[in-house]
Amino acid sequence: MKQSIIILTVFFFACAPPHPEIEASNKTERLLLNKWTPVEYVIDKKPYPIEDKRQNDFLELRPNHQKNEVFHGRKVKGSWEYLPHGNFIMIYGPKKVFYVSARVLSVSDEWLKIVTYDVKSGKFIISVYKSGK
């Protein structure tokens, strides 16, 4: 009798549809797995193009939660994680000594829009990336 109850319980949980929030967070994380090229910044609702010296910059979020990045022409290795509660991406430096938290405003197959807080200026900066696929 106990075995049949255990089997039915396992079967019930195995066949139950996933919770909508879990399904949405998995979709967002899958969309983030890409090579992203910066296109523009928006500060105080005013768009700014990417500087010429940053034309070769990119951010690549890989499936193993490692990242490859070229930032101001320098290669930066590190890791990343997606936090569905709050819709944040945490981007870590090589030894997790420093990190950047970014809220995902929107993500699709072609575009990524995130917002970060710049401590020096005291302003929120929206970064817009185009897919490098």
pLDDT (tens digit, 0 to 9) for every residue of the chain, 133 residues total? 556 555 545 444 445 455 444 455 578 899 999 999 999 999 999 999 998 888 899 999 999 999 999 988 899 999 999 999 889 999 998 888 888 999 999 999 999 999 999 999 999 999 999 998 6
Total domains present in the chain: 1
Domain range for 66 is 25-131
pLDDT at 25: 59
Angle at 37 between CA 33 and CA 38, to 5 degrees: 120
Strands (E) across 17-109 are located at 35-43, 46-49, 58-61, 66-71, 74-83, 88-92, 99-107
pLDDT at 97: 80
Name the pTM for this structure.
Answer: 0.77
H or E, element range at 105: strand 99-107
pLDDT at 61: 94
Residue 9 lies in a domain: no
Residue 88 lies in a domain: yes
Residue 43 lies in a domain: yes
Residue 109 lies in a domain: yes
pLDDT at 133: 64
Tell the residue number behind the tokens 């997606």, with chain if given. Answer: 82
Residue 98 lies in a domain: yes
pLDDT at 27: 84
CATH number (domain holding residue 88): 2.40.128.280
Residue 69 lies in a domain: yes
Residue 1 lies in a domain: no
DSSP 53: G
